[in-house]
Amino acid sequence: DVVMTQTPVSLSVSLGGQVSISCRSSQSLVHNNGNTYLSWYLQKPGQSPQLLIYKVSNRFSGISDRFSGSGSGTDFTLKISRVEPDDLGVYYCGQGTQYPLTFGSGTKLEIK
């Protein structure tokens, strides 16, 4: 199975600040078709996860441009700029390149 390693486990940021979350996979996430199926999700307290970013850097419908994804191969980053109160929750990366699909263990974002 592809192991997804997220860092940090938690972070605290001031409103208006910027944060980065790292996600590393144990194997390349480049699919045979050339696509890289790395997604980012946010799970707000008491809610289901929601898709933020798909295929490394594509924002899902309705997602603010304050969220950006980058990376390739096995190394990926989610950046959140101008942090707002509604951004708090747990962020997960997930890979869809290979079965079984796997997720990182999550990064908890707290607002100072």
Part in contact with other proteins (CB under 8 A); list of ranges 14-22, 43-51, 68-76, 79-87? 43-51
Q: Answer whether 43's CB lies under 8 Å from 104's CB.
A: no
Per-residue tokens: 18 = 């910027």
Amino acid at 35: N
Does the protein bind other proteins through residue 69 (CB under 8 A)? no
Per-residue tokens: 27 = 């194997």
| Cα–Cα distance for residue pair 87/36, rounded to 1 Å | 25
Looking at beta carbons only, is 59 or 66 nearer to other proteins? Answer: 59
Looking at beta carbons only, is 17 or 110 nearer to other proteins? Answer: 110
Part in contact with other proteins (CB under 8 A); list of ranges 11-19, 69-77, 78-86, 101-109? 101-109
The least distance separating other proteins from the CB of residue 6, rounded to whole angstroms, comes to 9
Does the protein bind other proteins through residue 27 (CB under 8 A)? no
Half-sphere exposure of 11 (CA within 13 A, CB side): 19
Looking at beta carbons only, is 49 or 69 nearer to other proteins? Answer: 49
Which of 58, 59, 20, 43 is CA-nearest to residue 92?
Answer: 43
List of residues contacting other proteins (CB under 8 A): 41, 48-51, 54, 60-61, 92, 94, 99-106
